[in-house]
């Protein structure tokens, strides 16, 4: 009988004569306690609600409107989060932009605001060895419009390292002076 005398201030002071809901330090008719965005009563959509600036929202609307959005899929993040590249990500969305593989040991590389694995980062930056197709992170030899690990820039015939910087080129392959002269019989001094 006590609930019959309660007044719902948020519903035009209509007396509550049946069931009531007490939430947000107010008393509500069950059909008046609704999500302020979609107007769905919480009695129909379940009892879970979230509060933002003193107003009730259903779970779906609350997360859609106020939860941080994932940098990968742009959907609301409601559980575990990774913060990287000035954005937040679902754990399963923080992957290499190119191959979609997860990053081992938390190591990723940034290129133009996107996360990449080591291989694809170096591929986009043009820093893969032309001989082994692996990233170059130390010394580099640039020759024949390509980049090489020093140990991979070798004579195409005798496999001698050409790290001294002198070589001859024939059909886009490097040769030491000795092999070039043996194979092609020309000195071709520059």
Per residue of the chain (190 residues), give pLDDT as tens. Answer: 333 344 434 445 677 777 778 788 888 887 788 888 988 888 765 568 889 998 999 888 999 999 999 999 999 998 898 999 999 999 999 999 999 999 877 789 999 999 999 899 999 988 899 999 999 988 999 999 999 999 999 999 999 999 777 899 999 999 999 999 999 886 555 5
Helices (H) and strands (E) in the chain, counts: 4, 12
**CA-to-CA distance for 29 and 22, rounded, in angstroms?**
9
- The Cα-based distances of 128 to 73, 119, 155 in angstroms read 29, 8, 19
User: pTM value?
Assistant: 0.62
In whole angstroms, give the CA distance from residue 143 to residue 177: 16
Strand partners, 89: 82
Give dist(CA 8, CA 28) in Å, integer: 5
């Amino acid at each position: 009988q006590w609930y019959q005398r309660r007044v719902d201030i948020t519903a035009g002071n209509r007396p509550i004569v049946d069931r009531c809901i007490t939430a947000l330090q107010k008393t509500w008719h069950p059909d008046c306690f609704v999500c302020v965005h979609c107007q769905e009563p919480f009695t129909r959509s379940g009892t879970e609600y979230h509060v933002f600036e003193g107003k009730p929202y259903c779970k779906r609307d609350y997360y859609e409107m106020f939860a941080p959005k994932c940098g990968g899929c742009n959907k609301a993040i409601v559980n575990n989060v990774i913060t990287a590249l000035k954005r937040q990500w679902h754990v399963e969305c923080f992957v290499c932009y190119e191959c979609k593989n997860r990053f081992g040991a938390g190591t990723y590389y940034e290129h133009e605001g996107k996360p990449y694995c080591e291989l694809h980062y170096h591929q986009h930056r043009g820093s893969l060895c032309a001989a082994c197709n692996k990233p170059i992170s130390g010394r580099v030899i640039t020759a024949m419009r390509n980049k090489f690990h020093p140990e991979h820039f070798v004579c195409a015939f005798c496999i001698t390292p050409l790290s001294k910087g002198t070589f001859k080129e024939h059909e886009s392959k490097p040769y030491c002076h000795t092999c070039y002269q043996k194979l092609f019989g020309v000195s071709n001094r520059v």
